[in-house]
Chains A and B, each alone.
Chain A
Amino acid sequence: MTTVKEREAIASEFAEKMNEDELLNCMRCGFCLPHCPTYIESGLKESYSPRGRIALMKAVTDGLIEPDEDVERSLSLCLGCRACEPVCPSGVKYGHLLEEARDIIHQNKDHSFPVKTIRKAVFSGLFPHQERMQNMTSLLGFYQRSGLQYIARKTGVLSMLPDHLATMEKVLPKVPTKSEMKKRPTDLPSIGPVLKKVAFFSGCLMDTMFLETNKATLKLLQLAGCEIVIPKSQACCGALHGHSGEKEGAKRLAKRNIEAFEADEVDYIITNAGGCGAFLIDYDHLLQDEPTWHERAIAFTNKLKDISEILVDLRFHEKTRLKLPAQTVTFQDSCHLRNVMNTSIAPRILLQAIEGIDFREMKDADRCCGSAGIYNIVESEMSMKILDTKMAHTKSTQADIVVTANPGCLLQMQLGIEREKMGDCTKAVHIADLLVEAAAL
């Protein structure tokens, strides 16, 4: 429930803070509609479309309607996949509008005690602290290794979880041990002549649960001719905060990262998680109201590059023999990598360079898989609808491997495979892991 007082506060902040020009830029042509997953899966509900959401934000800003539960519902059901942006001829920056709106709503809501506690734990307690992320991941590791997982599965306590969460439990990767996580090097030499010096953004989830993928990424960079630094004081990118209406928290993390990456002179800052990359590349927008930081943010974002882009730039795929047993491979775009970082061709070039694989494009590969941060947990119904459509398209490629470029998408695709009971014939992998395998490293 939103109280009258909360509504009033939200409405007045909308009027004050929302970017009116951007709201007016939407000329309501509707070109974005056919690209919006929530619009499609909801049976073409205009209030779950980008055009509808912009109209609602504008109406609240103009004082035409109150920010009631339905407005909130419409906004919280948005995946934030930003598929509506590249197709918008008017160039409306939808993502920025959404972020601002969510921030206003959350900051002015007196959340219920459990929600508050969870939000606080996640946004202030957990994600900004790599140490704690490691601890939490170790807990999962303990669960997996100690036999608890076995017991939990056997006794059926998992069936007390909602269906898809129980399934999610099954697909979580085998996590590394704490000491493995701590043994992270800070400098790595290039293998062969040095072509570029890069800094690696290790990410919080990527550096704990997906440590193997990070290792693979580093290996690829070294092989492509990169000397690597991994700034120790870097932090979580802040995407989860930014997308959940915790803008201040996101700003704090952004500043820490900018500082951390200013320490070394590098040509590029490399990411291997589309979701993080897209948030990092938007730091200049996040910090636009703080002049000195804004400039530093621009310098930071100008250096950002996804792993697949730099590999293609350095012609890794031409210089290295990539080979795998004969199999069919398809690629699921990470929305943020594609729609915000503008990377969609490079991963395909790399995959097609692998001998032995038959690359098959799936229908609507650019459509969100429904993972979207914690969306698949908080909006599970819509998320699973979106995932079902995605799996139908995956199936029709008859792919043995679904390649992804973001941890969230990877887990979601694994979840989809598990739900469809396709596990025997299909698996999902991160592109870095596949490339390392193909390079026989």
Chain B
Amino acid sequence: MITKPVKQLLLSIVGPENYDDSKVECLVYSYDATPGYQAMPDAVIKPGCTAEVSDIVKVCSEYKIPIVPRGSGTNLSGGTCPMEGGLVLLFNRMNSLLEIDEENLTATVQPGLITLDLISAVEAKGLFYPPDPSSMKISTIGGNINENSGGLRGLKYGVTRDYVIGLEVVLPNGDIIHTGGKLAKDVAGYDLTKLMVGSEGTLGIVTEAILKLIPTPETTKTMLALYQDLDAAAQSVAKIISNKIIPVTLEFLDRPTLVVVEDFAKIGLPTDVEAVLLIEQDGPLEVVERDMKRMADICLEEKAVSVEIAETEADAAALKTARRTALSALARLKPTTILEDATVPRSEIAKMVRAINEIASKHDVNICTFGHAGDGNLHPTCITDARDHDEMERVELAFADIFAAAIDLGGTITGEHGVGAMKAPYLEWKLKKEGVAAMTAIKQAFDPNNIMNPGKIFAKESRKRVVVSS
């Protein structure tokens, strides 16, 4: 609850145009892209600078008001749903690209900057910022950092964590700290930068970030391998990697996903095959050509029905764009689309895909699968209808089985979308009690009043681990 005097304090920090507690404004920030989560905040606030953020946090800390930092709300784990009310903190006004430093190869940005705007600006200077989540047209850097987002280029270039080298953070007591910097090397004390990345707004508020850039690769080529057999596609992934080729992109889409993506994108994707792999390599021309040839051969050996290299850049871009719409396009099939994020070691991809299909038929639910096959990060996506309560229960059971299967294969419950509220009950499956206790201790040290995005990552109760039958 925000009392009148507290509201006055907040208003005096940001001014009336940047504070809103009307029903409408609260409602439109009561949810994010995660189905099934909705809760009203008490107010929405838009700070204009770090000092204002710090002042807001001090007020919240004193009056124990929850703060939910929010980028574009595209996370898929309920991470920005204000489950315990409080303030939704927006970065609409803190969205500048402050600097591109061509000598040190860094970019300094404010958290509200849209990922694609950063990527475009950097590319205009002949540089490269690899993390490219499918949501990049709309996601913010602050959100990317706090979810440690990955993307189509993650296999070769890693995830957001690998590019964040310095941060300005407002801690839950209002202190402003700076971690890391434009340095290539820095081992002074604990690595707070890396700790903040992926912390899902539970440890502090990122108000500025220094990101590492790299030179743009000379060439890029994209190809599509078609399969009539899921296993064959999965086998190809394992074999490409075990042949010591690391492509930029190695994405997987099954047939139901292909059909809807084609329906939306209309770029002539095949819809009569069981699976496709979207493969991309970049680097010096000779290397790219050699790798593409070897990967094409491997796919054909593994019974791909055809392998096709995109002729033009426009074709290649269309393929990637189409892949990026997979999730939203699946939402065409049925009203509710629940996407999961199970991740396994690359070598286990085929087993995982098979397990997902078995689990789907065991619980009689409709699951389509696509994802970053190359890094073992699959997105089994359930197409359902939240109004069908029976089915929703089966969906829950199916997902529990899927997480269990992933962990049994040496994997994890989330590869990039975060724990948030949605997977909090499963965190213990992955980390065990001791792991969760270590994390709780960190949280406690940073945020003793538990005002930073409460209800996320740490669940009140953990789920019982069921034993997977298959």
Residues of A participating in the B interface, judged by any CB pair closer than 8 Å:
21, 24-25, 27-31, 33-34, 43-44, 46-47, 49, 51-52, 55-56, 59, 64-66, 68, 70-71, 73-74, 88-91
Pair A59/B27 contact, Cβ less than 8 Å = yes
Residues of B within 8 A of A33 (CB): 72, 138
Pair B24/A88 contact, Cβ less than 8 Å = no
Pair B329/A90 contact, Cβ less than 8 Å = yes
User: How far is it, in angstroms, between the C-alpha of A24 and the C-alpha of B24 when the chains are bound?
Assistant: 19
Pair B331/A65 contact, Cβ less than 8 Å = no
A15 CB, min distance to chain B CBs, angstroms: 14
Residues of B within 8 A of A31 (CB): 135, 137-138, 325, 328
User: How far is it, in angstroms, between the C-alpha of A31 and the C-alpha of B135 when the chains are bound?
Assistant: 8
Which of B1-9, B30-38, B163-171, B310-318 lines the interface with chain A?
Answer: B30-38
Contacting B325 at CB < 8 Å: which of A43, A52, A68, A89?
A89
User: How far is it, in angstroms, between the C-alpha of A27 and the C-alpha of B35 when the chains are bound?
Assistant: 7
B70 CB, min distance to chain A CBs, angstroms: 9
Closest 10 CB pairs of A and B: A89-B328, A24-B335, A70-B24, A90-B331, A27-B331, A52-B28, A89-B325, A44-B92, A46-B28, A89-B329
Pair B335/A55 contact, Cβ less than 8 Å = no
Does B264 have its Cβ within 8 Å of any Cβ on chain A? yes
Residues of A within 8 A of B264 (CB): 89, 91
User: How far is it, in angstroms, between the C-alpha of A68 and the C-alpha of B23 when the chains are bound?
Assistant: 9
Residues of B within 8 A of A91 (CB): 264, 332
User: How far is it, in angstroms, between the C-alpha of A52 and the C-alpha of B328 when the chains are bound?
Assistant: 17
Within 8 A of A (CB), among B375-410: 385-387
Pair B138/A25 contact, Cβ less than 8 Å = no
Mark contacts of B322-362 with chain A using CB atoms, 8 A cut-off: 1 yes-contact digit, 0 otherwise.
00010111011001110000000000000000000000000
Does B22 have its Cβ within 8 Å of any Cβ on chain A? yes
A259 CB, min distance to chain B CBs, angstroms: 35
Contacting A46 at CB < 8 Å: which of B29, B386, B387?
B29
Decide: A28 near B22, CB < 8 A? Known: A21-B335, A89-B328, A90-B328: no
Pair A28/B72 contact, Cβ less than 8 Å = no
Pair A55/B31 contact, Cβ less than 8 Å = yes
Decide: A30 near B336, CB < 8 A? Known: A55-B27, A65-B24, A70-B23: no
Residues of A within 8 A of B135 (CB): 29-31
Pair A65/B328 contact, Cβ less than 8 Å = no
Residues of B within 8 A of A34 (CB): 114, 137-138
B90 CB, min distance to chain A CBs, angstroms: 8
A-B contact pairs, 15 of them (CB 8 A): A24-B385, A27-B331, A29-B74, A31-B137, A34-B137, A34-B138, A46-B29, A47-B24, A52-B28, A55-B30, A56-B27, A89-B264, A89-B325, A89-B327, A89-B332
User: How far is it, in angstroms, between the C-alpha of A302 and the C-alpha of B23 when the chains are bound?
Assistant: 43
Does B25 have its Cβ within 8 Å of any Cβ on chain A? yes
Interface of chain B: mostly helix, strand, loop or mixed:
loop
Pair A56/B33 contact, Cβ less than 8 Å = no
Interface size on B, residues (CB 8 A): 34
Besides the known contacts A24-B386, A25-B331, 17 further A-B residue pairs in the complex with CB atoms under 8 A apart: A24-B387, A27-B35, A28-B32, A29-B33, A29-B135, A29-B138, A29-B327, A29-B331, A30-B73, A31-B137, A47-B27, A51-B28, A55-B30, A59-B27, A89-B332, A90-B328, A90-B332
Q: Look across to chain A and name the residue whose beta carbon is closest to the beta carbon of B33.
A: A28
Pair B138/A30 contact, Cβ less than 8 Å = yes
Pair B23/A24 contact, Cβ less than 8 Å = no
Q: Look across to chain A and name the residue whose beta carbon is closest to the beta carbon of B34.
A: A28
Q: Look across to chain A and name the residue whose beta carbon is closest to the beta carbon of B385.
A: A24
Within 8 A of A (CB), among B72-101: 72-74, 92-93
Decide: A25 near B28, CB < 8 A? Known: A31-B137, A70-B23, A89-B325: no
Residues of B within 8 A of A44 (CB): 92
User: How far is it, in angstroms, between the C-alpha of A47 and the C-alpha of B22 when the chains are bound?
Assistant: 11
Residues of B within 8 A of A70 (CB): 22-25
User: How far is it, in angstroms, between the C-alpha of A74 and the C-alpha of B387 when the chains are bound?
Assistant: 27
Pair A24/B138 contact, Cβ less than 8 Å = no
B200 CB, min distance to chain A CBs, angstroms: 18
User: How far is it, in angstroms, between the C-alpha of A394 and the C-alpha of B31 when the chains are bound?
Assistant: 38
Pair A56/B28 contact, Cβ less than 8 Å = yes
Pair B25/A47 contact, Cβ less than 8 Å = yes
Pair B328/A88 contact, Cβ less than 8 Å = yes
B435 CB, min distance to chain A CBs, angstroms: 32
Residues of B within 8 A of A47 (CB): 24-25, 27-28
User: How far is it, in angstroms, between the C-alpha of A29 and the C-alpha of B32 when the chains are bound?
Assistant: 8
Residues of B within 8 A of A73 (CB): 24
User: How far is it, in angstroms, between the C-alpha of A59 and the C-alpha of B336 when the chains are bound?
Assistant: 16
User: How far is it, in angstroms, between the C-alpha of A33 and the C-alpha of B71 when the chains are bound?
Assistant: 13
User: How far is it, in angstroms, between the C-alpha of A68 and the C-alpha of B22 when the chains are bound?
Assistant: 10
B240 CB, min distance to chain A CBs, angstroms: 29
Q: Look across to chain B and name the residue whose beta carbon is closest to the beta carbon of A48.
A: B28
Pair A74/B328 contact, Cβ less than 8 Å = no
Residues of B within 8 A of A46 (CB): 25, 28-29
Q: Look across to chain A and name the residue whose beta carbon is closest to the beta carbon of B261.
A: A89
Mark contacts of B113-147 with chain A using CB atoms, 8 A cut-off: 1 yes-contact digit, 0 otherwise.
01000000000000000000001011000000000
Contacting B331 at CB < 8 Å: which of A30, A51, A56, A89?
A89
Contacting B24 at CB < 8 Å: which of A29, A56, A89?
A56
Residues of A within 8 A of B30 (CB): 55
Residues of B within 8 A of A51 (CB): 28
Pair A28/B31 contact, Cβ less than 8 Å = yes
Pair A30/B24 contact, Cβ less than 8 Å = no
B156 CB, min distance to chain A CBs, angstroms: 26
Pair A71/B24 contact, Cβ less than 8 Å = yes
Residues of B within 8 A of A65 (CB): 23-24, 27
User: How far is it, in angstroms, between the C-alpha of A31 and the C-alpha of B72 when the chains are bound?
Assistant: 10
Pair B28/A55 contact, Cβ less than 8 Å = yes
Q: Look across to chain A and name the residue whose beta carbon is closest to the beta carbon of B18.
A: A43
Residues of A within 8 A of B72 (CB): 30, 33
Q: Look across to chain A and name the residue whose beta carbon is closest to the beta carbon of B386.
A: A24
User: How far is it, in angstroms, between the C-alpha of A70 and the C-alpha of B22 when the chains are bound?
Assistant: 8
Pair B73/A28 contact, Cβ less than 8 Å = yes
Residue of A27, A46, A51 with most chain B CB atoms under a 10 A cut-off: A27
User: How far is it, in angstroms, between the C-alpha of A68 and the C-alpha of B385 when the chains are bound?
Assistant: 29
Pair A68/B332 contact, Cβ less than 8 Å = no
Q: Look across to chain B and name the residue whose beta carbon is closest to the beta carbon of A49.
A: B28
Pair A29/B328 contact, Cβ less than 8 Å = yes
User: How far is it, in angstroms, between the C-alpha of A27 and the C-alpha of B114 when the chains are bound?
Assistant: 20
User: How far is it, in angstroms, between the C-alpha of A25 and the C-alpha of B331 when the chains are bound?
Assistant: 7
Residues of B within 8 A of A27 (CB): 33, 35, 327-328, 331, 337
Q: Look across to chain A and name the residue whose beta carbon is closest to the beta carbon of B137.
A: A34
User: How far is it, in angstroms, between the C-alpha of A29 and the C-alpha of B332 when the chains are bound?
Assistant: 13
User: How far is it, in angstroms, between the C-alpha of A64 and the C-alpha of B30 when the chains are bound?
Assistant: 11
Within 8 A of A (CB), among B230-270: 264
